[in-house]
Structure 1
Amino acid sequence: MQHAKNAGVQRLAESIGKRWKSILVISVLGAVVGVAGSTLVPKRWPARVLVQVGQTENGTPLVDPAGLVERIKFPSFATQVITSMGLPGDDEDPRVKLFKKTLWANVPRGGSLIEIHVNGYSPQEAKNNAIAALALIQKDHEALLAPAIDRKQKLLTQYEQQLKEHLDQRSAILSRLQSKSGADNSHGSQDIVFSILIQSDGFETRALTEQIARLRDQLDTTRMFNTKAVAPVYVRDRPDSLSAGACSVFGLLAGLAVSLAWLLIKDASLRMSFYGAVVGRTGRTGRAIG
């Protein structure tokens, strides 16, 4: 059997050697087709943006990050983004098809951030797609955050106004007392009145000041903010597709495979040599064929 296989391999090599021109031509044509295909297939650039979910003043996220990821994956979200970009709603537009096909999101392992992925037919288009997806999220989350910010901002303004009025009133009272005591030369009674006024007034002033400080701390942008990108949108320098060189290699290999298959089908003697080389096929008499 082993001798039959060795003989078959030799005959197969001789058969291929006689037909090397045909094999070479078909292989080269395959490489040319591969290069041509690489230029015809539109290149796609992947974009990524890392997003931090907005939070309230106590550090609670506006929405659950995992829930936001599922929302981004849901088909209606892509449709909303496409509408916001002014693109047609049907899938006939290649930009729309690519957006719906490649839009994705995930929570990186061990983190609380969200990573949004989407492709475009140019680096700028990919970047715009990612920005549009984030903008829609920010718009929705702004609607959740705005009432709390407005409420605290109004309360802060109210306390600041009360403190100003309180301090102005105290200054006016002290000014009148100083004028009156200066005319009466009653410094002893003036000191007593001042002491009582300052002591009773200090409690209200301190309370208002603490309320204002607490509200300003809650409204600080490091504690209460909308969903935002942690870093600028990242777009790869190269498209997410095979280069012309890689396509030519694949085309060459495909052409080689096609040429060999074609010759095996067309040429009976080559086919028998192949069978002998692979399995050492024997005839009915038990002798190796060929």
Structure 2
Amino acid sequence: MNSTWQKLSGFNIEELAETRKQIHQAVQLTALTGRAFLPKVEDDHFASLLWLEDKNLLAGQEWGKNKIKTAINFKDFTILFLDAEDNIVGSFPLDCKTFGEAFDWLKEQVDLLGEDVEKLSLELPYEIPIYPTASGAPFQFANKELFNELSKYFANANLVLKYIKEKNEQASSIACWPHHFDIATLIVLNNSKENYKSIGVGLSPGDDNYNEPYFYITPWPYPNTDEVTLPELPSGGFWHTKGWVGAILTAKSILIFDSSEKQHNAVKDFLNNGIKAVKDVL
């Protein structure tokens, strides 16, 4: 079990981004079973994923009569089936395999469990970034250290989000959403329809906004930046104001700190003070 911060290392941002895109594609496989076999809810929660800190795995919701979880191990880039006790009962290494081959394996496993294979569908209620693996190119598990590094980011994010959840009783359960591939919690400050206010706190492993992992704190509704003064943020954090408003702490700013303790403290300082700052502008 990793209950302490894992020191992050500096890697080529472009190479890390390529690894992230492959995992983002593969993560869709872990969400398919929840989407197929669990009752539908408006927020797509049945397709959300959880970080299993004792296993270092990203796993979907339990589904089917055998209470199976479909999971992914970043470190060896493998799709897994876990039983109710989180023991591995099936595995499919993705290296040099296509998305279609992985989906075929998934269907075989579902069939062996006596579930209705016809419920599985590759149709998603959203679009994800285009990547060659979506068009038949095989996955490539070339640089294992990059996959391990992204595993560290998710483990560390889960660690600090648990800390934030303990400090904020309004915070939701921590979940990873396969659409944007971010892991987050939502702090609801006012749940009324007339004056709904919330703060999203999480980690994105990178996207079109920033091609590197970053922690974010986003208010809703977004404040009018022409009417409010956004306060300074600690630890190298800054405000994103193009298209949406949020406090941002990128991997580059975290990597300035040369020990796991300093990195951990920098992120906690950013999150604690960033949440206070966001509350002030809501």
TM-score (norm 1): 0.17
Which one has the bigger strand percentage?
2
Which one has the bigger helix percentage?
1
**Larger RCO: 1 or 2 (CA < 8 Å, sep 6+):** 1
Answer with 1 or 2: which has the greater Rg.
1
TM-score (norm 2): 0.17
